């Protein structure tokens, strides 16, 4: 075969190879193999000198035109690859601006904490300060110094989680009264919100729940002060026209003691399941601080007097939102919790 035919064959061969490539790197291999410094066509061009002069020009031109043609073809295919790559990338990274946004869930305080904050704020507004105490408490602070000595029947009123060494899980926030009176001299006006524990579990009782305790101690504090403060508080939570009544009661750490009821918020006093057809809802316990509690804390009961009150936050929360089972508050069920979003 003469050089001319060889070149034309080669052209067809390379063209086929170019058309068959699947990726840009194979194109480069073809370029090196045929058109590179040591490539097939280049070596043919190098042998031009050995040809007779009349063929040299023709073959030289033919070889150069084939070389240019093939180089152009390779470039063309490379461009196509680049274009396709860009198109694929655009398709892959396409942003559909009409899609709905991915809403992310914004949390909110638990309904019990919302109520706790609301109640605490009312007392802060009236000039009370906030005190806190440990949940693992001395038996003395939880019972004895609150006028509930050992074997006193009142200890049976609260089913206690006892720990070792005279410690327990506090059954009420009242030990914060003791802690406050041991470290502060009157006048005292504090509220103590926090968690308390009792062995109890049914639709209206949870082994862990929240209370808020209030204590006011000064000279000449009377039951009238207690009634006034609680009236302002209850009206702030339940509205200006809420009926309020004080019922004589008994607590070891107050004397006299009272329980406070409000008119049923569900039936408006007509009688319903929630108020057990009485028209009244028991809301809190209160009373004048028993002189024995003052004495235990080193405060002279002949000089000072005071009042204390305590209430369950879950109960208020349940009444406010008409929740019928306390356990719903502690199951961490988002279907329940998310209903209280944005209430505060």
Phi, psi values for residue 2, rounded to 5°? -80, 170
Start-to-end Cα distance in the chain: 95
Query: Considering the complex, what minimum distance in angstroms separates the CB of residue 219 from Zn ion?
Result: 41
Q: Does 266 bind Zn ion (CB under 5 A)?
A: yes
Residue closer to Zn ion by CB (options 40, 267) is: 267
Give CA–CA dist 133/174, Å, rounded. 10
The reply to whether 213 sits in an annotated binding site is no
Residue closer to Zn ion by CB (options 266, 328) is: 266
Residue closer to Zn ion by CB (options 134, 269) is: 269
Is the distance from CB of 231 to CB of 244 less than 8 angstroms?
yes
Q: Does 272 bind Zn ion (CB under 5 A)?
A: yes
Residue of 4, 30, 5, 28 lying closest to 15 (CA atoms) = 30
Give CA–CA dist 46/66, Å, rounded. 15
Residue closer to Zn ion by CB (options 187, 268) is: 268
Interface size with Zn ion, residues (CB under 5 A) = 6
For the chain, the farthest-separated pair of C-alpha atoms sits apart, in whole angstroms, at 138
Give CA–CA dist 269/176, Å, rounded. 35
Q: Does 15 bind Zn ion (CB under 5 A)?
A: no
Query: Considering the complex, what minimum distance in angstroms separates the CB of residue 274 from Zn ion?
Result: 5
Residue of 194, 197, 230 lying closest to 212 (CA atoms) = 194
Q: Does 230 bind Zn ion (CB under 5 A)?
A: no
Site string for Zn ion, 274-293 (x = CB under 5 A): xx------------------
Q: Which helix (H) or strand (E) holds 254?
A: strand 254-263
User: Which of these ranges, 46-54, 241-249, 267-275, 327-335, lies near Zn ion under the rule CB under 5 A?
Assistant: 267-275
Which residues fall in the annotated binding site for Mg(2+)? 255
Residues that bind Zn ion (CB under 5 A): 264, 266-267, 272, 274-275
């Amino acid at each position: 075969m003469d050089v001319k035919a060889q070149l034309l064959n080669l052209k067809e061969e390379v063209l086929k190879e170019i058309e068959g490539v699947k990726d840009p790197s194979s194109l480069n291999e073809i370029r090196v193999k045929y058109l590179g410094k040591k490539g097939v066509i280049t070596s043919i061009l190098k042998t031009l000198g050995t040809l007779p002069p009349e063929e040299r020009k023709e073959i030289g031109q033919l070889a150069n035109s084939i070389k240019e043609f093939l180089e152009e073809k390779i470039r063309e295919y490379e461009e196509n690859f680049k274009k396709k790559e860009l198109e694929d990338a655009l398709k892959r990274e396409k942003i559909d601006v009409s899609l709905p946004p991915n809403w992310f869930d914004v949390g909110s305080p638990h309904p019990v904490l919302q109520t706790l904050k609301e109640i605490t704020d009312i007392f802060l507004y009236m000039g009370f300060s906030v005190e806190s105490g440990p949940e693992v408490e001395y038996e003395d602070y939880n019972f004895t110094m609150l006028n509930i000595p050992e074997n006193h029947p009142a200890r049976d009123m609260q089913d206690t989680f006892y720990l070792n060494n005279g410690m327990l899980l506090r059954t009420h926030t009242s030990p914060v009264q003791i802690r406050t009176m041991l470290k502060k001299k009157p006048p005292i006006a504090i509220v103590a919100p926090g968690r308390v524990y009792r062995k109890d579990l049914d639709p209206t009782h949870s082994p862990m729940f929240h209370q808020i305790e209030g204590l006011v101690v000064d000279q000449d504090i009377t039951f009238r002060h207690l009634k006034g403060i609680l009236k302002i508080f209850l009206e702030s939570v339940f509205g200006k026209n809420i009926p309020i009544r004080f019922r004589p009661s008994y607590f070891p750490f107050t004397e006299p003691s009272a329980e406070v009821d409000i008119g049923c918020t569900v039936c408006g006093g007509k009688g319903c399941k929630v108020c057990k057809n009485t028209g009244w809802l028991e809301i809190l316990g209160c009373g004048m601080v028993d002189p024995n509690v003052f004495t235990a804390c080193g405060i002279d009961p002949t000089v000072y007097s005071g009042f204390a009150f305590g209430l369950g936050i879950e109960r208020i929360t349940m009444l406010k939102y008409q929740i019928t089972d306390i356990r719903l508050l502690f199951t961490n069920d988002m279907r329940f919790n998310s209903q209280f979003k944005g209430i505060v």
